[in-house]
């Protein structure tokens, strides 16, 4: 089976050079190209490549952000960054990249990266999950009937767990993501506060805590159609959070 590759770079000439170099490598098939991070995620969702050759500096969703989303894909592709800047090396490996190529990419270094990718793919079923990056994501990624939607975290009002999904309530509606509420709470502790075992609320959305007639407490949000239920165990910490806002 050939090693399937998606090439991602916002410069057409850079993509063309990588395609040319890959054409000289045996057992490699380029299945898609992309010019930005969102298009890269969509191409990977469609083609499920073994390897993504990923530029870092791109407009919109950059390569580091795209790589953090790719780490959650099943099967997870190998990621090799291709960049003109060596200052991103640490961030690249925190994003679970298996290699880091400097532009202009040399054929012998590309060949070595391809061998690393083959080794990664061969052991992918038993590979441990990548460590959490010290750089939190700026978007959440929802899958929509074969395509993807990136939701800016600044637009998220609250997150609510429903069975194996989390419903993201945001400025343009709501979407489902396949992540756990606990992992989101850990990653975005500075942005969200827990009000219930099944609900995290964006701190900037909190307006007030309201006690209703039967003694229950509700959280009033700026952009929620109705107040949200607060569990008793969350009330003390939530009161302190509201005071600090």
Same domain, 116 and 185: no
Q: Is residue 28 part of a domain?
A: yes
Same domain, 104 and 8: yes
Same domain, 121 and 19: yes
Provide the domain limits for residue 74. Answer: 3-126
Same domain, 106 and 181: no
Q: Residue 132 above 70 pLDDT?
A: no
Mean pLDDT rounded to a whole number for the chain: 89
Same domain, 224 and 186: yes
Q: Is residue 140 part of a domain?
A: no
Same domain, 11 and 101: yes
How far, in Å, are 36, 56, 184, 194, 233 from residue 78 at the CA level? 18, 15, 23, 34, 42
Better-scored residue on pLDDT, 96 or 2: 2
Q: How confident is the model at residue 49 (pLDDT cuts 50, 70, 90)?
A: very high
Reading across the β-sheet that carries 165-170, which strands appear in turn? Answer: 173-177, 165-170, 156-162, 199-202, 192-196
Q: Is residue 135 part of a domain?
A: no
- Report the domain count for the chain: 2
> What local confidence, expressed as pLDDT, does residue 72 receive?
82
Same domain, 171 and 98: no
Q: Is residue 137 part of a domain?
A: no
Same domain, 89 and 169: no
Query: Using one digit for the tens of pLDDT, what is the confidence trace for 77-90?
Result: 999 999 887 766 66
Write the CATH number for 29.
Answer: 3.40.50.2300
Q: CA angle 44-27-82, nearest 5°?
A: 50
């Amino acid at each position: 089976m050939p090693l399937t590759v998606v090439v991602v770079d916002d410069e057409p000439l850079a993509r063309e050079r990588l395609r040319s170099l890959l054409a000289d490598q045996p057992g490699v098939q380029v299945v898609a190209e992309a010019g930005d991070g969102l298009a890269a995620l969509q191409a990977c969702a469609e083609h499920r490549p073994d390897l993504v050759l990923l530029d870092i500096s791109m407009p919109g969703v950059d390569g580091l952000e795209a790589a953090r989303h790719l780490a959650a894909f099943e099967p997870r592709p190998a990621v090799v960054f291709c960049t003109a800047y060596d200052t991103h090396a640490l961030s690249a490996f925190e994003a679970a990249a298996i290699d880091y190529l400097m532009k202009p990419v040399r054929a012998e270094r590309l060949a070595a990266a391809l061998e690393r990718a083959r080794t990664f793919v061969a052991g992918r079923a038993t590979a441990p999950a990548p460590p959490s990056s010290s750089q939190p994501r700026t978007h959440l990624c929802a899958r929509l009937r074969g395509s993807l939607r990136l939701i800016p975290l600044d637009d998220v009002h609250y997150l609510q767990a429903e069975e194996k999904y989390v419903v993201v309530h945001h400025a343009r509606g709501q979407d489902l993501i396949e992540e756990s509420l606990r992992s989101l709470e850990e990653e975005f502790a500075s942005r969200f506060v827990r009000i219930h075992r099944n609900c995290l609320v964006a701190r900037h959305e909190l307006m007030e805590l309201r006690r209703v007639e039967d003694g229950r407490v509700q959280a009033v949000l700026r952009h929620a159609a109705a107040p949200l239920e607060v569990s008793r165990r969350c009330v003390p910490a939530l009161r302190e959070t509201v005071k600090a806002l």
